Each structure stands twice: as structure tokens, then as C-alpha cells.
Structure 1
Amino acid sequence: MSDPRPILFFDSGVGGLSIVAPARRELPAARLIYAADSAGFPYGVKQEAEIAGRVPALLGRLAERYRPRLIVIACNTASTIALGAVRIALDVPIVGTVPAIKPAAAISRTRVIGVLGTAATVRQAYVDDLATRFASDCQVIRHGSADLVTLAEAKLRGEAVSPDAVRDAIAPMLAAPGGDAIDTIVLACTHFPLLSEELAEAVGRPVTFVDGGPGIARRVAYLTQGQTFARDQADLAVFTGDVAPGLDRALARYGFDRVERL
């Protein structure tokens, strides 16, 4: 018998759509729900205590309402701060999104890696641990940018993105000691793959960008292996606050034709 339970993706904004896209390719039969905490957006400038309290409570409400078979926290900031608490609080499989430092270290030739995320993500001890475990022979240069999050959201709304604004946002990472040797950049915020073309232009030289989307898609496929799916309802996007003008068209491009408020 087919199982109608959806897979739920959660982010503070719409950056998690970069995680939805590869997951949809892996599991085209699955019903998906995308939940954006627009009332709490952005997470990257908030204090850890606020995120640690907000995310488990909100995911509890979402799990109760939509009964997902699995939840993907499609947000590096929320994952690095609240993943453990969410797994304790909910009796649902939880997949987190953490900076892809391991695959970046595996391909870097110069052994200098950039980690580009939000300020709240790049300062976490979780990132320290990833760097120690998987990139101990690399120089890891971290940089947090709230501006890139805003620019990614604007791009999805159909607004033009200023090349100068992107260049200014990443300039401190490239100007840091050793920054001229960076050959691999970890996109440690799910918003940032949405700006991959603009980021490549702003760097101005060959670098490889790495993000967690494909790996998360494979993990979701593994955890749901052998399960049946039923798309008895349309895929749904849920917002805790206002939906910015223009986002409805972007959501439809990612397969979410219905939008509602939590």
C-alpha cells in the first residue's frame, strides 16, 4: 500500500530549495513539503540560544501538523546549533545539513579551503570539529556573510543581483592570509548555491564550489529505501510569516504550487 507521508524540508528562508532540487531528482515519486521560518528569518545573525530554542519547537509543530516520514533541516546554521536537540525531541528521522568540509578536503590540491557561510555557522564548534577530523592538513579560511543570504533571496524573487555586492561580500575571505591560494570553497549556507554563477564571477579565477545538496539527497534516498510513496496531494510550501512578492513564481519552479501560512 502506498504511503502518503511527505518528506519535510526546513529552512529559515528559501535557501533550502538548493537541497530540495537534488532530493527531488533522487525521489521523484515522493511528496515534498517545504517549510520556511520567514517570521524568524534570517538565522545567521541570531544568537545561538534563540535558534536552539526556536528550531526544535517549530519543527515539533510542523511534525504534528504534517506527519512527515523524514525531516531535512536544510539550513547549516540550524543544523550546527540545533540538530542534536531536534533528534532528541522528535521521533522522526532527521537529516541535517552541515558544511561539506570532508569532500572539499578530498579534492583540494593547494590544501587551502574557504568555508563561506553565515556568521552563526562559521563560528560553531561543530565546524571546528569537521575541520579537525577531515581537513587537519589544510588551511581552512572561514568567512560569514549575511549579505549573500539577502542577495540569494532577492535573486529568487526575480531581482537583479549586483556583481559588486557579491564581490564585496566575499572579499574578506579572499584577502585573508592564504586566501589567494584557495582552490575549493565550501558553500556552508544553503542559500549560497543559488548564487553559484555570481560567486564564480566574483572570485575571478578557477575554484571548485562544494555544497551538501547531492550528499543529502543520497542520504534521504538511503533512509527511505524500500518505502512506498503516494502523491495524493500537491507539494506544499509553508511559511511562518509573510511570503515576499515574487517568491510564489520561484516556488512553482521548484514544484511547490501551493503556499500556506503555519
Structure 2
Amino acid sequence: MDSRPVLFFDSGIGGLSVLAAARALLPQMPVVYVADSAGFPYGTKSEAEIAARVPALLGRLAERYRPRLIVIACNTASTIALAAVREALDVPVVGTVPAIKPAALVSKTRVIGVLGTNATVRQPYVDDLATRFAADCTVLRHGSAELVELAEAKLHGHATDPARYAAILDGLFGQPGGARIDTIVNACTHFPLVGDELAAAAPRPVSFVDGSAGIARRIAFLTQGEGWPEAAGDGRAVFTASDATTEALAPALARFGLTRRETL
């Protein structure tokens, strides 16, 4: 048996949406979940800040926890720093990128919305994905830092205003051609955590897609043939800064199997 964990990394709690899909497929997987709370949020930072911070921090985490595989469960960090992390670390690294390809496969109207952070939606990486996988589609984008805050608030147990979700979605539907959107890519791992709220706030039924299931399958592929413990045990949640806010997350973290908490 191999007790080395899979390390999931995000700026906050958004990566829990990826962890949930991976745990459903690999229930015996030992997990270390890292939230860079000292650097949160990433979506409003510059590319230079993220490109410098993420590889250095993941290097420290790899030394400390000796993971068999690292999942960057953050679209912003992946679209900016994934290549640099892979070059720097001698461990397999799985990134999270906007699910434009699966969205193009299901869209009937050929108009797709990409809902992400401000940093993600402006990346050339997104241009490349749209060109490669959705060349016959109109791809509209909207960046929202507020939606990240709403997802964090929900997992902290706070009520959120439905009108705020409707206003955010209007950033897509209100664009020229937006009335024809039938599929929205949740291009931030925080956003599936408020998937029910987004669906309820949409002016009409649309499909929401994200990459969590594909990431889970990729983890399974890269670890096939490796031993797993008989049981996953208590997952570990690690924060780069800790305060009363992170302490309040304990009930939500426990629902994802993360019952131990520590600060880096």
C-alpha cells in the first residue's frame, strides 16, 4: 500500500468541488487540501504575482507533504502558472482549465458563456481553448470576483442574496448575442459550489459545465496500478494563514472528509 497523498491546491475553498469529484471516483485516496488563504483571492491579482507565488509555494508543499500527485484545483493558477510548476517539480501535476471543449460538445445554439475570475477570462490560454475546441461557436466571457466571495460565504454558513447571482449572470446574458447562450462554463472551481444558486438565478434554463469529472478521471489514470490504503483516513486541510474565518470552515471541510486542519 502507498500512503502518499494527492495534494489539491487552490487559493481558497473552490478546489473542494474538484476534490468531491475525485473522492467519488477514488474513495480510498489520501488527501491534503491546501488553501492559499494568505494569497486569496487570485482572480484580482496580476499575472506576475501569481506566476511568482504559485510555483514557489507548491515547491514548499511538495517538500513537506511528499505527494504522489498535485492537482492545481484553480483555473486562474493553472492558466498562468501550470507550465512553470511542471517544469519546477519532479511530481506529476494536473491542472484545471476552463471546460470549453465539453461545453462545445453539448451546445445546440453554438453560443457559450465562460464565467470565471477576471484573471482567468483574459488569459491567452482561454483564447487557445476557444480556437481549438469551439471554433464554430461564439464564446462570450465574464469575470466576477464577487461570485468567488459568494461561494466562500456559502461554505462559511452565511446566507447569500439571489439577486447578486442574477446580476452576475447578466454580465453574460446582457452581452450582444448573450440571449442565445445555452451552455455556461464554470471557469472557476468556486462556482460549482453555488451551482444551485446560479441555475435558479438564470433567466432561462441553461447547462452549466465544469472540468471536475475530467480531472478525477485524469487522477485515476495517472495513479493506476499504485496502491491505496484500505481506507482514505482523515483528510488534512492546510491554510497558509489561519484566523477565525478559517476556523469557521470546519463543518464544511468535514463534509468533504477534511477533519484535520493546520497552518503552513
The SS at the match of 1:83 is helix
1:232/1:124 CA distance change after superposition, 3 Å: closer
CA contact (8 A) 2:27 2:232 kept: no
Aligned to 1:58: 57
Counterpart Cα distance in 2 of 1:64 and 1:178: 48
Deviations 1:145-176 (A, max 9, x none): 00000000000011101101111122121100
Structure 1 position 187, deviation (Å): 0.2
The answer to whether 1:125 aligns with 2:124 is yes
Aligned to 1:239: 239
User: 1:162-201 alignment to 2 at 5 Å?
Assistant: 162-201=161-200
Aligned to 1:227: 226
User: 1:126-165 alignment to 2 at 5 Å?
Assistant: 126-165=125-164
The answer to whether 1:100 aligns with 2:102 is no
The SS at the match of 1:257 is strand
The percent identity for this pair of structures is 67
CA contact (8 A) 1:187 1:209 kept: yes
Deviations 1:84-141 (A, max 9, x none): 0000000000000000000000110000000000000000000000000000000000
> What letter is aligned with 1:253?
R
Counterpart Cα distance in 2 of 1:27 and 1:151: 29
Aligned to 1:261: 263
Aligned residue pairs total: 261
Q: Which moved more, 1:162-171 or 1:90-99?
A: 162-171
User: 1:11-22 alignment to 2 at 5 Å?
Assistant: 11-22=10-21
Deviations 1:24-53 (A, max 9, x none): 011111101100000000000000000000
Structure 1 position 232, deviation (Å): 7.8
Structure 1 position 204, deviation (Å): 2.5
TM-score (norm 2): 0.97
Deviations 1:55-86 (A, max 9, x none): 00000000000000000000000000000000
Where in structure 2 are there 5+ consecutive unaligned residues? none
CA contact (8 A) 2:28 2:232 kept: no
> What letter is aligned with 2:253?
L
RMSD between superposed Cα atoms in Å: 1.0
Counterpart Cα distance in 1 of 2:164 and 2:232: 43
Where in structure 1 are there 5+ consecutive unaligned residues? none
The SS at the match of 2:104 is helix
The SS at the match of 1:34 is strand
CA contact (8 A) 1:145 1:170 kept: no
Consecutive aligned runs of 4 or more in structure 1 exceeding 2 Å deviation: 230-234
1:232/1:197 CA distance change after superposition, 3 Å: closer
> What letter is aligned with 1:160?
A
Counterpart Cα distance in 2 of 1:12 and 1:225: 28
CA contact (8 A) 2:162 2:197 kept: yes
